[in-house]
Structure 1
Amino acid sequence: MGIEGATDWREAAASALSWWQEAGVDTVVDEAPRDWTARENATPAKAGPAKQAPLVEEEVPLPATLEAFIDWRFGGDAPESAWGEPVVHVTGNPASPLMIVTDMPESGDCDAGALLTGDAGRLFDRMLAAIGHDRGSVYLVSLCIARPVTGQVPREIEEKLAELARHHVALAAPKRVLLLGQTVSRAILGADAGTGRGRLQPVNYQGGQSEAIATYHPRFLITKPAAKADAWKDLQLLIGGQNQ
């Protein structure tokens, strides 16, 4: 007989078990996979068909009146409410034929409690005066009601903010809308200010239409004074035929 036939399997098995015990192996391993990270007192889940999460979240209808929308927009359900930053409300006359949309509050707007303060605000006031308006005769709103810590509108919520801004325009139903900067232009018109500038463009919504023109933000004009000539052309186009 060979070596295999001379082997005492009982003695070999006992030796192996003794070695495993000394090594700390004291648990029989199942053939089925086991989650060794699960808590010991966890109740095993019963086998059954896996439940799938809904693919699309249920959409909550936005308020259908301007007053109700403003209350909701500056309440705890607004996308920016989770930031913990102060919000800056709309200003001016909601019934004005001219609605102006900025991108976000300036760094000092929260302290002042109004949109477009500081150097950008002073230039904005001069722009309004040049077309025969002041802050009391326009409706000034912001795409983002709180100032992001980065100083830029977060791209991950830009689509939602755009939806809210278009709804805001529809409820206010102004004759014309002035869009300040590329972010606002992209939100309302779906295009950058560079491609949308120089012409009035329709903003369609259920029950009506407004005309919008995109121009440079006062913040940009402070750093690029040469663009003021083009901005003046935009303002002239904005008020052209306004009383027709």
Structure 2
Amino acid sequence: MPDPDEYRAALAQLAWQVELGADEAIGEDPVDRYAAVPEAPKAAPQMSAAPSRSEEGAMGVAQAAARAAGDLAGLEAAIAAFEGCELKRGARATIFGQGPADARLVIVTDAPGRAEEQARHPAAGRAGALLDRMLAAIGLARKEVRLVPVVPWRPPLDRDPSPGELESLRPFLSRHLALVAPDIVVAMGHAARQGVLGTDADKDGWSGMDGRDVLSMPSPAALLRDPLRKREAWAALLALQDRLRR
């Protein structure tokens, strides 16, 4: 049985080493790290820029189901019944939308995360609180706008939806926008922009789609990760405020 005093001394030495920044145990024999052959980094898996054959088939099913939906309740039921997307299999909730069915402004948010799954509505948690402050800064409230997630299910590990997933689910998003018929659509975030405008859309700013003005801008989550983009987001909000006044 080890001596208690030696044990406490060794533990204190270990705590001191950790405090100094040591985070890896070493062996008895020295290792020449300069002579070691570095292991080649593993290539990150690449997501296809186009839907797979199965995603193309799912897109056709989604298009038919979306066209058949005569109102938002019917569209929500169609999405809940849709089995053509792998995202649904691991998700704990279907996030459809929130806000007036005839809103003049629709905000398309990025894919749901943990907070949205728990709240069961778009733009929850810290990002949702920031969105509320962003809207308030230009005289709007959440209850005045329609919030729609770019995809209705949370991707695994909170990754971005793949281009194929966005395209296969895009008929539901397009139908949602058609049923609400807003004057302006704001796509907040990279995935939201690609879901609204197509997977080849790669720039923020104003554009048009189906006779509507579309503004692409950073998402609240992106602003929390990179506060330096708040200047860019503020400029977009002022442009949105000006367009709403017309």
TM-score, normalised to structure 2, is 0.67
Map of 1:21 onto structure 2: none
Map of 1:155 onto structure 2: 163
Map of 1:239 onto structure 2: 241
2:245 alignment partner AA: N
Map of 1:213 onto structure 2: 215
Question: Over aligned residue pairs, what C-alpha RMSD do you find?
Answer: 2.3
CA deviation vs aligned residue, 1:112-151 (integer Å, no higher than 9, x gap): 2222122111111101111211111000011111111131
Structure whose alpha-carbon radius of gyration is higher: 1
Is the 1:193–1:216 Cα contact (8 Å) retained in structure 2? no
State how far apart, in whole Å, the 2-side matches of 1:163 and 1:216 are.
23
Q: Which has the bigger relative contact order, CA under 8 A and spacing at least 6?
A: 2
Write 1 or 2 for the structure with the bigger share of helix: 2
2:190 alignment partner AA: Q
Shift of 1:237: 1.1
In structure 1, which of residues 160, 168, 172 is the aligned counterpart of residue 176 of structure 2? Answer: 168
Give the 3 Å change call, closer, same or farther, for CA 130–70 of structure 1 in structure 2. same
1:108 alignment partner AA: A
1:211 alignment partner AA: D
Give the 3 Å change call, closer, same or farther, for CA 135–122 of structure 1 in structure 2. same
Map of 1:36 onto structure 2: none
CA deviation vs aligned residue, 1:52-80 (integer Å, no higher than 9, x gap): xxxx9594422242322222123344634
2:79 alignment partner AA: R
Map of 1:74 onto structure 2: 80
Aligned length: 183
In structure 1, which of residues 111, 117, 135 is the aligned counterpart of residue 124 of structure 2? Answer: 117
State how far apart, in whole Å, the 2-side matches of 1:203 and 1:169 are.
11
Is the 1:193–1:215 Cα contact (8 Å) retained in structure 2? no
CA deviation vs aligned residue, 1:139-184 (integer Å, no higher than 9, x gap): 0011111111131213332211223222221221100011011111
Shift of 1:108: 1.6
- Give structure 1 stretches of 5+ with no counterpart: 1-55
Q: Which aligned segments of 4 or more residues in structure 1 are displaced greater than 6 angstroms?
A: none
Equivalent runs, 1:1-244 vs 2, <5 Å: 59-60=60-61, 61=64, 62=66, 63-67=68-72, 68-77=74-83, 79=85, 80-152=87-159, 153-190=161-198, 195=203, 197-198=204-205, 200-204=206-210, 209-244=211-246
Shift of 1:210: 1.3
CA deviation vs aligned residue, 1:211-239 (integer Å, no higher than 9, x gap): 11000011110111111111011111112
Is the 2:95–2:122 Cα contact (8 Å) retained in structure 1? yes
State how far apart, in whole Å, the 2-side matches of 1:73 and 1:57 are.
16
2:93 alignment partner AA: P
Q: Aligned with 2:114: secondary structure? A: coil
- Give structure 2 stretches of 5+ with no counterpart: 1-55
TM-score, normalised to structure 1, is 0.67
Q: Aligned with 2:158: secondary structure? A: coil
Is the 2:107–2:148 Cα contact (8 Å) retained in structure 1? yes
Is the 1:105–1:115 Cα contact (8 Å) retained in structure 2? yes
State how far apart, in whole Å, the 1-side matches of 2:57 and 2:223 are.
41
